[in-house]
Amino acid sequence: MKKSLKERLAILSDAAKYDASCASSGTVKRDSSATGGLGSTEGSGICHAYAPDGRCISLLKILLTNFCIYDCAYCINRSSSNVERARFTPEEVIWLTLEFYRRNYIEGLFLSSGIIRSSDHTMEEMVRIARELRTTHNFRGYIHLKSIPEASAHLIEEAGLYADRLSINIELPTDSGISRFAPEKRPDNIRRSMGKLRLKIEEMADPTLQTKRKKTFAPAGQSTQMIVGADGASDATILGTSARLYGSYGLKRVYYSAFSPIPDSSKNLPLIKPPLMREHRLYQADWLYRFYGFEIGEITATQAGGMLDLDLDPKLAWALGHRERFPVDINRAEKEMLLRVPGFGTKTVKGILSSRRFGRLRLDDLKRLGVSLRKVQPFITAEGWTPHRLVDRTDLRAMFEPKPEQLSLL
């Protein structure tokens, strides 16, 4: 008997939950006031709900189908798994997207799919959904399509006309990891597809000669995801791969997904609690690389075995490994060095730079900027404050380590 729409929604969203991204940000501003249609995007994304896993629900994240001819060990939808299978028709995906959107549950659609028949066939159906949402239904909300690396160039090009973001998952940080766990996927194909996409995005961003206008093509760029903890790659390897991906393909984001046990799991994989803290530290390091002027090598160099310290955030760990660079005088230091003080974010640094032109800053001023004094005190000097060789204390690390906690069983 055919499963009901509700039953299939349960299966095909369950199958999509291992994709970390749910972002709806970074695209162009547009709305429906001129077209009289439905939907808008206003720069920053909106999280319409949060699940008890603490993750944002911004998009209707579903698979077109979870039938798949690939057999990737880490994937819940691999062909050898015995999960229940289902598929939507393109019309059903369109209906769900629009009806969910009208009730303000979501910002748009994140559509992915298992590979059925061929890459092109699957991609064609996904593109059709995006096209009909945009043209037939005048939908101006957010669309993220997970593209299929082997799909033909013309399909990717068409997808970019309707989607805000396109993504291809790199899956694992090393080529050998991909060959081991995803035997049908080819790392060089994935890289080549990302390269082609970057070229296409750049080509379309060039104003044309006739109209002097940029064409809209995947305005929120491309992103990717890496699974953390399924293979043996170290954090240094993972972050090195991210740096290469950011540099090579102009990715907007690399998402890290702590490997999470899946139903009917393959025996080759660790069936443990997902390494959530490790994932968190990787995101912090990624942030330091993109917004705080750190090189990947600096972040991982002082860390044993290339693994980030789980007890301390990577910026604090770096500071403790480079005590000779501290304390930093908040009234004189350059922006680059202020950004390296543990406990200062980009906004705090902006506030400091702007305020110190009018007078010397004291600890009270920092407190008013919302800074945690306990964290920054050992690393700075301010008007009326010198840390008295606090950075030389041997128990400095212990001051920041989390209190021991009873472990719970899985």
Partner 1 sequence: MRYRFSLRGRGDLTEWRDAARAFLMAGIVPEYIEWRTMDDADGLFGFDENHLPPPHPDCEPMTVSPAFIRLAQAVLCHSDPTRFALLYRMLFRMMHGGVIHGRHLLQMATDPDVVGASRMAKSVGRDYHKMTAFVRFKELPLKEGTAGRRRFISWFEPDHFIIARVAPFFQRRFTDMDWLILTPKGSASWDGETLRTTDEPAEKPDLRDETDELWRTYYASIFNPARLKVKMMTTEMPKKYWKNLPEAELIPGLIANAEANVIEMARKAASEPLPFHHRIQEAAARAPVEPMPIAGTLAALKQEARHCTRCDIHCLATQTVFGDGPPDAKVMFVGEQPGDQEDLAGKPFVGPAGKLFNDVIGEAGIDRRSLYITNAVKHFKYEPRGKRRIHQKPNMGEVRQCRWWLTQELELVRPKLVVAMGATALFALTDMRQKLEDVRGEPIAMEEGRMLFVTVHPSYLLRIPDEGRKAEELARFREDMNRIKRLAA
Within 8 A by CB and 6+ apart from 282, the residues are 228, 235, 238, 239, 256, 308
Beta bridge partners of 38: 139
Q: Strand 222-228 to strand 253-258: parallel, antiparallel, or no bridges (unpaired)?
A: parallel
CB of 103 to partner 1, least distance (A): 5
Phi (first) and psi of residue 371, to 5 degrees: -85, 145
Calpha distance 327→378 (Å, rounded): 7
Beta carbon nearer to partner 1, 136 or 354: 354
Beta carbon nearer to partner 1, 23 or 258: 258
Beta carbon nearer to partner 1, 260 or 303: 260
Asked if 113 and 64 count as a contact pair (C-beta separation under 8 A), the reply is: yes
CB of 165 to partner 1, least distance (A): 17
CB of 337 to partner 1, least distance (A): 18
Beta carbon nearer to partner 1, 255 or 320: 255
CB of 208 to partner 1, least distance (A): 19
Beta carbon nearer to partner 1, 320 or 348: 348
Calpha distance 395→312 (Å, rounded): 14
CB of 320 to partner 1, least distance (A): 25
CB of 341 to partner 1, least distance (A): 16
Beta carbon nearer to partner 1, 33 or 210: 33
Extended beta strands in 52-116, E state:
56-57, 59-63, 108-112
Phi (first) and psi of residue 238, to 5 degrees: -60, -45
Say if residue 358 is exposed, middle or buried (CB neighbours under 10 Å; 0-12, 13-18, 19+).
Answer: exposed
Asked if 111 and 167 count as a contact pair (C-beta separation under 8 A), the reply is: no
Asked if 128 and 92 count as a contact pair (C-beta separation under 8 A), the reply is: no
Beta carbon nearer to partner 1, 264 or 401: 264
CB of 124 to partner 1, least distance (A): 20
